[in-house]
Amino acid sequence: MKTILFIFGTRPEALKLIPLINEFKKYGNKFNTKVCITSQHQEMLWQVLQFFDTEPDYNLNIMLPNQTLFDLTSNGLKKIENVLNEVKPDLVIVQGDTTSTFIGALAAFYNKIPVAHIEAGLRSGNKYSPFPEEINRKLVSQIADFHFAPTYLAYENLLNEKIDNNVFIVGNTVIDALFMTLDKIKNMNFEEKFSFLYSDSKLILVTGHRRESFGEPFKNICNALLKIAKDNNDVQIVYPVHLNPNVINPVSSILSEQWNISLIKPLNYPEFVWLMNKSYLILTDSGGVQEEAPSLGKPVLVMREVTERTEGIKAGTAKLIGTSTEIIYNEVTNLLLNKNEYDKMANATNPYGDGNSSAKIVEIIKNMLL
């Protein structure tokens, strides 16, 4: 019997790890599966945990309103120490590139516990963008013993850094979560929740939260959205606003008065998936949304200067457009008016996975550990 400890703290990590946790739990005679949440996020994390009926064994409760990276890192790291000493895991599993990911891996290393890194090998090549994620994931690659790369490109990135031992290409577990959810929502009715949608409008779905966009870039993004909404009466922009105060403040002050812009609270995952499916196009800086939207055949305009998810761009379903007001406005207008351009991007392709990543990962870990 081997003890596996999952450590995570934010919405996207939960989404991408729950399919794997469920898969491990199928082997209760071989694995003792424990879940530790840092609670780097609160509401946004519990939305996911509740939808997927996941009950954590340990909750470190480190979220404070608008805390700094210093607070997050130091408070979290110290609290993980106690959990490791109690659980004494044979393997710690972390996902992605958040501060919780980094401190989970670092804490395991301090106790000489092997680490598996899910979604390994993503690189933008820019130290400060995304910030602090690019460095978090590079540091975790140095620590990890097992690297689960979602795509061939991610695998190559690791090889280029001479990380060539125990690297496996398995797809992204977010597609497992997406397929599970699409199946669950087939018989769910969201009409009442979304009664504010205009039936005859083109829906533009927006998300944004990246730290490198705080300040001026966020204002530019909001000004673009405002101009798009003002110039297109047949368009409705729906923006579930991330709870980070650096996001909420500019977004509400610039956009809250415009009649065809709906600013709403973060949606739980099934609602968000339903809305992605309903949308005409998606504007985002989110990593996960870039991975999900191509599976749904929705064009994605990526409001960032660089992205580590270039597979969607190569497949032609996503376009990297930056954060300038004028460029965002022009790119959206182009997709609203130019049907050929729109159709070229609206392909349902799946460069990030086939929905079976978790099963592949568990199979590999079984072979390595048991």
Cα 137 to Cα 77: distance, rounded to the nearest angstrom: 16
Residue 137 touches ligand UDP, criterion: CB under 6 A: no
Residue 99 touches ligand UD1, criterion: CB under 6 A: yes
212 assigned to active site: no
Q: Which stretch binds ligand UDP (CB under 6 A): 64-72, 184-192, 284-292, 303-311?
A: 284-292
Q: Which two tokens stand for residue 82?
A: 């106690």
Report in angstroms how near the CB of residue 21 gets to ligand UDP at its nearest.
16
In the complex with ligand UDP, the residue whose CB is nearer, 295 or 325, is 295
Report in angstroms how near the CB of residue 13 gets to ligand UD1 at its nearest.
8
Instruction: Single out the residue of 102, 155, 269, 352 in contact with ligand UDP (rule: CB under 6 A).
Output: 269
User: 336-369 burial, b if ≥16 CB within 10 A, otherwise e?
Assistant: beeeeeeeebbeeebbbbebbbbebbbebbeeee
Hunting for tokens 């079984």 — which residue is that?
366
Q: How many residues interact with ligand UD1 (rule CB under 6 A)?
A: 24
Indicate which of ligand UDP, ligand UD1, none lies near residue 289 (CB less than 5 to 8 Å, by partner kind).
ligand UDP
Rounded alpha-carbon distances, angstroms, from residue 39 to 9, 14, 56, 165, 210: 5, 11, 10, 32, 19
Instruction: Single out the residue of 16, 209, 309, 360 in contact with ligand UD1 (rule: CB under 6 A).
Output: 209
Residue 40 touches ligand UD1, criterion: CB under 6 A: yes
Question: C-alpha angle with apex 289: 283 to 295, nearest 5 degrees?
Answer: 105
Cα 99 to Cα 136: distance, rounded to the nearest angstrom: 7
Residue 12 touches ligand UDP, criterion: CB under 6 A: yes
Hunting for tokens 């397929």 — which residue is that?
179
Question: Could you say which residues in the range 58-87 bind ligand UD1, by CB under 6 A?
Answer: 63, 65-67, 69, 72
Within 8 A by CB and 6+ apart from 278, the residues are: 194, 197, 203
Residue 12 touches ligand UD1, criterion: CB under 6 A: yes
Instruction: Single out the residue of 228, 267, 281, 318 in contact with ligand UDP (rule: CB under 6 A).
Output: 267
210 assigned to active site: no
86 assigned to active site: no
Please provide residue 146's backbone torsions phi and psi, each rounded to the nearest 5 degrees: -125, 130
Residue 125 touches ligand UD1, criterion: CB under 6 A: no
Residue 104 touches ligand UD1, criterion: CB under 6 A: no
Within 8 A by CB and 6+ apart from 291, the residues are: 172, 174, 175, 309, 312, 352, 353
Indicate which of ligand UD1, ligand UDP, none lies near residue 66 (CB less than 5 to 8 Å, by partner kind).
ligand UD1
Indicate which of ligand UD1, ligand UDP, none lies near residue 269 (CB less than 5 to 8 Å, by partner kind).
ligand UDP
164 assigned to active site: no
Cα 271 to Cα 201: distance, rounded to the nearest angstrom: 19
Q: Within 13 Å and on the Cβ side, how many CA atoms surround 123? A: 17
242 assigned to active site: yes
The radius of gyration of the chain's CA atoms, rounded to the nearest angstrom, is 20
Q: Which two tokens stand for residue 339?
A: 């049907």
Hunting for tokens 């590079």 — which residue is that?
138
The secondary structure of 314-356 as a DSSP string is HHTSEEE--S-HHHHHHHHHHHHH-HHHHHHH-----TT--S-
Residue 109 touches ligand UDP, criterion: CB under 6 A: no
Catalytic residue from among 13, 119, 176, 308: 119
In the complex with ligand UD1, the residue whose CB is nearer, 73 or 232, is 73
Question: C-alpha angle with apex 130: 121 to 141, nearest 5 degrees?
Answer: 25
209 assigned to active site: yes
Instruction: Single out the residue of 244, 258, 260, 347 in contact with ligand UD1 (rule: CB under 6 A).
Output: 244
Active site (catalytic) residues:
97, 119, 133, 209, 211, 242
Give me the residues that bind ligand UDP (CB under 6 A), please. 11-12, 15, 174, 207, 209, 240, 266-267, 269, 272, 286-289, 292
**Residues contributing to the site for ligand UD1 (CB under 6 A):** 10-12, 40-45, 63, 65-67, 69, 72, 97-99, 132-133, 209, 243-245
